[in-house]
Amino acid sequence: MDKFFTQKTCDRCNGNLDGGRTMSAFSEECICLICSDAEKKDSEYQKAVDADVEQIRQGNFNYKGIRGDK
């Protein structure tokens, strides 16, 4: 099974993932819902989402995100 589904803590804050998890819009991090809510307030959030959608349209399902290489 993929690490995303089995890891116990958020890649960003180390918080528990029992309350839910999602993939960051900016990178390949598995984050908790609290970090996800904070991420949505980032001024570059829509840019990150749009870039991800465009990569998927082009067939790239392994896009690292706009901050994935940092």
Write out pLDDT tens, residues 27-60: 999 999 999 999 999 999 999 999 999 999 999 9
Number of H-type helices and E-type strands within the chain: 3, 2
The domain limits of the chain are 3-57
Confidence band of 69 (pLDDT split at 50, 70, 90): low
Q: What is the pTM of this model?
A: 0.86
Residue 16, φ and ψ in degrees, nearest 5: -70, 140
Q: Enter the tokens of residue 14.
A: 């180390």
Neighbours of 27 (CB within 10 A): 20
